[in-house]
């Protein structure tokens, strides 16, 4: 079985509270994009749970890989004894705020659920996904969604057009845990919820600016000052508005159309090992 594991961007991210167990509650729009890893999966009965992982690209090829952890978690939750063989081709960079590892894990869960129908109820599959990481439940059914709570409250959003983007990264990985620790050190009060979604046709920079605000950008920039320089560069290259995806360090520039996005990408000057690429979000109906 061959599965795509799409990356995502956050169209705005607000930290609206903190639970007694220390987890932060968020309010964000998650949009899948056309950048995707490829997961090839084979599973069959075995005396014990066995997971074999081969990685082509930049990701660990051991039990720390979230895809391998997802396979073990599925076997444990379902009670099935399986040999799970995984070929993972990485295209989404690690520690970039694009959800690559979470999407790989969700693709594994989707694939195993399809290969062993009925082994886990839908609610149990979602519980396994959430235990693996806050972003994983979204990627079980990747489509534009408003995501709240700690990632478990998903509300599909209809009527969103595809957005032309330029993804830009300074070439530095940023730890999500460290960004949240830096956020807590700033001791901000809780944010209000996301504002109502403005009309996105036609795109208007003055409406996008407030929507794209990400509460994690200030702490992420403290850890990675290059984020601020890259934000300025995207604006100067012609992006209508700029947002930070997740905890960074990837920024995205929203552009009027794919041709404009290609122009912005051509004008960007990012020192090595930074990178940029043109992308687009999924359209929702």
Residues with catalytic roles: 8, 135
Q: Hey, which residues does 42 pair with through a beta bridge?
A: 85
- Say how far apart CA 105 and CA 192 lie, in whole Å: 31
CA 23, chain centre distance (Å): 18
What residues contact 281, with CB distance under 8 A and at least 6 apart?
A: 9, 31, 32, 33, 144, 160, 162, 163, 165
- Say how far apart CA 6 and CA 158 lie, in whole Å: 19
What residues contact 285, with CB distance under 8 A and at least 6 apart?
A: 158, 159
Phi–psi pair at 108, nearest 5 degrees: -60, -45
Which regions of 46-91 does DSSP assign to beta strands (E)? 50-56, 82-89
Tell me how long the chain is.
285
Contact indicator for 244, 214 with CB cutoff of 8 Å = yes
Contact indicator for 203, 273 with CB cutoff of 8 Å = no
Integer angstrom CA distances of residue 148 from 17, 29, 139, 155, 210: 11, 9, 14, 9, 18
- Say how far apart CA 180 and CA 214 lie, in whole Å: 13
């Amino acid at each position: 079985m061959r599965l795509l594991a799409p990356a995502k961007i956050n169209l705005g991210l607000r930290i609206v509270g903190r639970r007694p167990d220390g987890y932060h509650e968020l309010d964000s729009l998650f949009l899948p994009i056309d950048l995707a890893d490829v997961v090839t999966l084979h599973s069959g009965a075995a005396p014990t749970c066995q997971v074999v992982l081969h990685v082509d690209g930049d990701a660990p090829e051991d039990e720390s890989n979230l895809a391998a952890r997802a396979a073990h978690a599925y076997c444990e939750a379902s009670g099935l004894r399986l040999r799970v063989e995984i070929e993972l081709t990485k295209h989404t960079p690690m520690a970039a705020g694009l959800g690559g590892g979470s999407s790989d894990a969700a693709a594994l869960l989707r694939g195993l659920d399809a290969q062993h129908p009925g082994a886990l109820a839908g609610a149990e599959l979602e519980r396994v996904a959430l235990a693996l990481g806050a972003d994983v439940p979204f990627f079980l059914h990747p489509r534009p969604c408003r995501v709240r709570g700690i990632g478990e409250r998903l509300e599909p959003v209809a009527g969103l057009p595809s957005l032309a983007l330029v993804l830009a990264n300074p070439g530095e990985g940023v730890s999500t845990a460290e960004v949240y620790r830096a956020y807590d050190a700033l001791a901000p009060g809780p944010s209000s919820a996301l504002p109502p979604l403005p009309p996105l046709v036609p795109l208007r920079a003055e409406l996008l600016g407030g929507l794209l605000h990400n509460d994690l950008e200030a702490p992420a920039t403290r850890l990675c000052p290059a984020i601020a320089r890259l934000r300025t560069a995207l604006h100067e290259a012609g992006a209508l508005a700029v947002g930070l995806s997740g905890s960074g360090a990837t920024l995205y520039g929203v552009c009027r159309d794919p041709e404009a996005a290609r122009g912005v990408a051509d004008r960007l000057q990012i020192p090595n090992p930074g990178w940029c690429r043109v992308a687009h979000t999924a359209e929702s109906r």
